[in-house]
Amino acid sequence: MVGPERRLEGVPGADGIVVGPVYRLADVEMPAEGAGGPEEQARALTALQAVAARLGEASARMRTAGRTEEAEILEAGQLMAEDPSLLAEVEALADGQSAAAALLEATERQAALLAAIPDPYLAARAADVRRLGRQAARLASGPPTSQPLPPQAGEGEQVVLVARDLGPTDLAELELEGVTIGGIALAEGSVTSHAAIVARSLGVPLVVGLGEQVLTVGGGLTTVLDGMSGLLVISPDQKSLREAQAAVERQERRRAALAQSREHGAVTADGHRIRLLVNASTEREVLAGLEAVAEGVGLLRTELAFLDATSWPDEAQHEAALRPIFQHVAGRTVTVRTLDFGADKTPPFLHGRAERGIALQLAAPGALEAQFRALLKVGAETGAGAGLRIMLPLVERAEQVEAARRLLHAAHESVGPETPLPPLGAMIETRAAVDQIDAIAAVADFLSIGTNDLVHDLLGLDRLTPAATVRSAADPRVLRAVGAVTAAARNHDRSVEVCGEAAGDPRIAIMLIGLGVSELSVAPSRLDEVRAAIRAVALAEAAHLAETALTLGSADAVLALVDSGLAERLQSARLSSE
């Protein structure tokens, strides 16, 4: 029975408002010991059958919608779930352990066998097998009502996804299952986790830190999720529902109005052009960015395809991941970040390693050189090589750039001297990097500021806690670090882009260009808002505001400063505008 309206408050993660039924994503519970036997065997096999049926239904919908490639992926997953050898192994393992544990172990064994095959296509299917295991384990571990099938009342009906937290691949997996995610409500989570970044890139409203109460919300209940205020309204009354639906309509009208101004370009009111690029992890995000008239890709994350890897990806695996994206960006800038493993993006073979970014890669130079070779080859093959830039994550010393450059030159020699040699840039994401910025700028071809990690390192925040918000990038300590980077870049005639989440906030974007940042790379869903904000202000005005901001004492004070001078103009640049 539907109860009275309830309101849960969390931390805003991505702007926007959505009305939709709850779709619960169950935790994978792993009983400690003693589980197993006929009941667990039946539970495991039933879960595999349910996943196979779900994949079959989703593939049929994909084919009807003309999405043949996605349909074929789903059909392959269905065949895996029905494979007699997998069923037999799951049944045997579930005789002595929980259904969820048996499913995860059996699929991991099969994935490891596939990953060891020299054929790149078959090796790439290892990730599909692991995804199948996670899907089935969720069904086997949760109560029967914890994860209902997506609502079938209307084709493509948007749901509000409710979960404890999300892994980096969860959203992609759910979309492949045919779940149309309109909003995300998390009990825990972080606004700077990889899954949250992907959600923002797709324009999906997000609220994190809602607490355990959100996990008790029944599947199918109507909710209103407000990603700007951090509010989830469960079973809204008629008044709340009408207000939310009106807000959704205003949001859509504003989105359409912003899209109509794309052809005017990211040019300030006094005529200074800012390069506006897109952040992406997938082909879908790249296409969304190009549709929103991004000038190219300012950050292509390459690790998402390999989060289930059992070893460093080889050259062929990198080529297979890059080719679908590079075919769309010939003639444009495409800035590829080398593998940035660590934190919430750690594959199984790196568990327990403390290093991240370029330090981790230089410990496996052969793997980094293999990625370089793949980038050069696919760039030449697709025509994307002319605009290719490569950037190294979490650089802290000039020596790291020089070591990586030697590997890049070795890769270039092996691929062929006629292949274009791309610029090699450094991502500045820590206090240590800022301290060494002049030396780094002297050896890097360009600089890119990753504000997500920089904010947390400078301010002592835990990157994966709900309280670590994007607005913290407006803190004067962070802005002073950005200013130090742009000053070093001017001294060495280097360009500076910001590709962290802060670049997608219109108020902070104005501070960044005022500090001398010449390129902003943002999520596809943020391009129109940031473009409108740039057009609303003169560069001289932004520089004056930034200079004043450096003297203030907090992020709130900086944002209030921007609002006091530009509130009316910026309101017209936001999706939330009335």
Whether the per-residue pLDDT at 281 is higher than 80: the answer is yes
Domains and CATH numbers, the chain: 6-25+147-238 (3.50.30.10), 38-141 (1.10.274.10), 302-422 (3.20.20.60), 425-431+440-578 (3.20.20.60)
Helices 539-549 and 476-491: crossing angle, nearest 10°? 120
Neighbours of 42 (CB within 10 A): 14
pLDDT of the residue at 354: 85
CB 182 within 8 A of CB 159: yes
Q: Residues with Cβ < 8 Å from 173, sequence gap 6 or more?
A: 131, 134, 135
Mean pLDDT score, 133-156 = 60
pLDDT of the residue at 143: 53
Neighbours of 470 (CB within 10 A): 23
**What percentage of the chain reaches a pLDDT higher than 90?**
53
Q: What amino acid occupies position 151?
A: P
Whether the per-residue pLDDT at 577 is higher than 50: the answer is no
CB 455 within 8 A of CB 436: no
CB 520 within 8 A of CB 503: yes
Q: Residues with Cβ < 8 Å from 139, sequence gap 6 or more?
A: 26, 47, 50, 51, 147
pTM for the model stands at 0.80
pLDDT of the residue at 151: 45
Whether the per-residue pLDDT at 243 is higher than 50: the answer is yes
Neighbours of 15 (CB within 10 A): 22
**pLDDT tier at 145 (50, 70, 90 boundaries)?**
very low
CB 538 within 8 A of CB 274: no
pLDDT of the residue at 169: 66
Mean pLDDT score, 436-441 = 98
The reply to whether 499 belongs to the active site is yes
Cα radius of gyration (the chain): 24
State whether residue 199 is helix, strand or coil. Answer: helix
Render pLDDT for 512-558 as a digit per residue (tens, 0 to 9).
Answer: 999 999 999 999 989 999 999 999 999 999 999 999 999 999 999 99
The reply to whether 272 belongs to the active site is no
CB 383 within 8 A of CB 334: no
Q: 576: which 2 tokens?
A: 């939330």
CB 86 within 8 A of CB 114: no
Whether the per-residue pLDDT at 3 is higher than 90: the answer is no
CA-to-CA dists, residue 213 to 20, 163, 166, 229, angstroms = 18, 11, 17, 18
